[in-house]
Structures are given as structure tokens and as C-alpha cells.
Amino acid sequence: MTVRTAGLPETVHIVPLGHEIDRAVKPLINKKADRVHLLAISPEADIDPVMREKQVNYTRKVTDHLESVSIPVQFHPVEMFDVLDVLKNVSRIIVQEKSDGNNVYVNMSACGRKTSFAVAVAAMYHEVVSYYVAADGYATGENSGKEIDHGMSIVESGNIELLQQFQIMKPKDINVELLAELYRRKVKDMPYMKSDEIINFLNERNVHGFEVKPEEKRGLDKSKLRRSLLNRISRSHLEELEGQKYIEKKKVGKEFSVRITPAGSHIACVSGLV
């Protein structure tokens, strides 16, 4: 159990894991972490049993290595072949650790190529450090027998490259929340969100201008207020999201409904809100 000293941030590493050992362990031997979040497929994952057992073995070896040098490991079962699931889980952990004031590092080299893409995007979105561990050789050919101790990559020098951060175009915070809500609805097979539902969504979050819903308006100005709110939604929220290709808008008369696009789903998942 790690005892945190009051006022001092912890150093936390997030390590999505494929068929690697050295690339997950070597960076942490000399520069100790207070905690490691290890992401890999579940031991009960519905995949080829041989591949599943092979990955479970890698996960066990990396965990044993780290715990032998007193680095606590927290395991997270993740659908490693699903980019959105990787984005959701890596981002969720980053958001939690940052909210606790901790320093977060993300290893994007101990997993497969598809997963490493999602990992790098999550790190850049949340502006934390991601790093790549260089291999000195590979457990192939005459070195294939070394895989059992090193994983697919053999790391001796432990050279680490910090990846350059690029600013990702993010929608306004409330619009990211709207994307997250649209994504939740999509998962529940309710792909569209109607005009009045968006008004209620913004009202519940006390967004400026939406403090009063049309049905709560006294007097004869309910329809006028509703038109004003719909115009505000289009200008302040939907135009941005449509321009970034994160939503699709369907209009019928004065009414409209929106649904999230695949690009919008990626932003929702990387936001850490779903």
C-alpha cells in the first residue's frame, strides 16, 4: 500500500500492455513510480484461448517485476483492440490522477500499433507526457528464445524518447459534455437528441441563457423564448460541432435533432466523461 505524503504529488505511469515486458518495466527501474496503471485484455476476454493465455502471462510477469521493486500495480481490463474503449479507459485514469494533483506519464510503446495510436491521442488531449521506449533488438530468429524474459522487444540501454505534444482542437467544455451525452445515447440505441432535449440538457447544467425553460416562462412569451433558445443552441453550440464534423444535424421545419459522428465519438471517449 502506498502512503502519500501530504502536499506532494505522486508520479503515476499508465502502461497499456501487449506482448512486451522490457518496454513496460525498464523505464521504471531507475526512475521509480509511485503507482502504475496496467491496462490489458481481461483474463476472461472472448478471444483465441492461446492468445489470451499468452497475454495473461505477459501481464503477470510485468506485474511481478514491478511489485518486486515495490511499485504498486493497479490492473484495468480493457478491450485493447477497440480504439474507443482504450480512449475511454486511458482518459478516465488521466482525468482522475490529474484531479488528485499527480504527475502522469503514459507509455505508448508497450502495446500494439492500433492501441498506441489511441494512447498517444489521449495523452495529447489531456496534455500529459507520453513516451516511447526504444528497443535494442527483437525476440525473433536466433533471439526468439529471449521472448519469455523480455517480451517481443529486447531493451538493454533503456533509451526513452518523450513525444512532442501537439494541441488537439477541442470544442468548448459544455460542447464536449454534449458530445458525451450524445455518445451515451448512441450506446443505448437512441442516436438522435431533439431540440427540447438539448434545451433541458443545457438548463440542467445551468448554462448561461438557459436558466429558464420555455414551459417555466410566465406570461405569453413562451414561444418567443423557445425560438430564442433554439437560435442560441445553433449559434453557440451546434455550429462549432458541425464545423468540426463531430455531429450531424437534421432539421424538420423549425425543429431539429442531432446525432454524434464517428469523429465526435472519439472526442467523447477521449474526454474522460464517459
Q: Quick: pLDDT tens for 36-91.
A: 999 999 999 888 899 999 999 999 999 999 999 999 999 999 999 999 999 999 99
208 domain residue, yes or no: yes
Phi, psi of 140 (to 5 degrees): -130, 165
pLDDT value of residue 225: 83
pLDDT value of residue 252: 79
Cα separation, 246 vs 265, whole angstroms = 8
- Report the pLDDT averaged over residues 10-26: 97
Q: What letter represents residue 47's amino acid?
A: I
pLDDT value of residue 254: 75
Residue after which a domain boundary falls, among 107, 141, 162: 162
Whether the per-residue pLDDT at 150 is higher than 50: the answer is yes
Cα separation, 224 vs 219, whole angstroms = 11
Cα separation, 240 vs 234, whole angstroms = 9
pLDDT value of residue 220: 53
Whether the per-residue pLDDT at 32 is higher than 90: the answer is no
- Report the pLDDT averaged over residues 133-137: 94
Q: Are residues 18 and 91 in the same domain?
A: yes
Relative to beta strand 193-194, strand 255-260 is antiparallel
Cα separation, 12 vs 2, whole angstroms = 12
Task: Give strand ranges (E) for 9-82.
Answer: 11-16, 35-40, 73-77
Q: Are residues 30 and 136 in the same domain?
A: yes
Q: What letter represents residue 41's amino acid?
A: I
pLDDT value of residue 184: 97
Residue after which a domain boundary falls, among 121, 143, 162: 162
Total domain count for the chain? 2
pLDDT band at 1; cut points 50, 70, 90:
very low
Q: Are residues 144 and 205 in the same domain?
A: no
Q: Are the C-beta atoms of 90 and 110 separated by less than 8 Å?
A: no
254 domain residue, yes or no: yes
DSSP state at residue 168: -
Whether the per-residue pLDDT at 6 is higher than 70: the answer is no
Q: What percent of the chain has pLDDT over 70?
A: 96
Cα separation, 19 vs 57, whole angstroms = 9
